[in-house]
Amino acid sequence: MNFSAHERARARRYAMQALYQWDLSGTDLPLIRRQFLENEDFSKADQKYFIELLSELPKQVDVVDDTVAEYIDRPIEQLDPVERAVLRLATYELLYRPDIPYKVTINEAVQLTKKFGAEQGHAYVNGVLDKAAHKLRAAECGRAGKQSAGR
């Protein structure tokens, strides 16, 4: 079953909120996942992707955090909790979901940060992810640059 961009975006939003809750409360992630599945409306969300993010990202959180650390100006623990959750989610996508274009990942992360983060947090998240994408998705970024340069 193919999901629309809106359904995937809603799954990311729920996943970011769940990761934020996990990060701040230390509550068991399967419990948080179950609460979201019971309490949120997944009729317009990609539930499978939400479940993937909440089961796979925590397994890779050390790799994700180490990757993020290369592009930020302070220890990851000092980031705003919303920005930390968004950066983890987006970095996971950059690392492990090459089927998702990097521009989509960055745009979704910026939108989440605008909605839930600090006033200028979206600019910070955009800058971090842009640097990360150019390293992690160098070939894809290069192709995108050549395509837009030729227009």
Triad 122, 61, 89: Cα angle to 5°: 30
Contacts of 120 (CB under 8 A, 6+ apart): none
What is the separation of C-alpha 127 from the centre of its chain, rounded to a whole number of angstroms? 14
Q: What is the pLDDT of residue 3?
A: 66
149 pLDDT more than 50 = no
Domain extents in the chain: 5-149
Q: What is the pTM for the complete model shown?
A: 0.91
Q: What is the mean pLDDT of the chain?
A: 92
Scan for tokens 């990360």, then name that residue.
132
Nearest-angstrom CA–CA distance, 35 and 143: 41
Q: Which CATH number fits domain 5-149: 2.40.30.10, 3.40.800.10, 1.10.940.10, 3.40.50.12780?
A: 1.10.940.10
- Six-digit token pair at 130? 């842009």
Which uninterrupted H or E stretch holds 82?
A: helix 81-96
Q: Are residues 57 and 92 in contact, defined by beta-carbon separation less than 8 angstroms?
A: yes
Residue 148 banded pLDDT, cuts 50, 70, 90:
very low
Which uninterrupted H or E stretch holds 18?
A: helix 5-25
Identify the weakest region by mean pLDDT among 2-6, 20-24, 106-110, 144-148: 144-148
- Six-digit token pair at 92? 């996971």
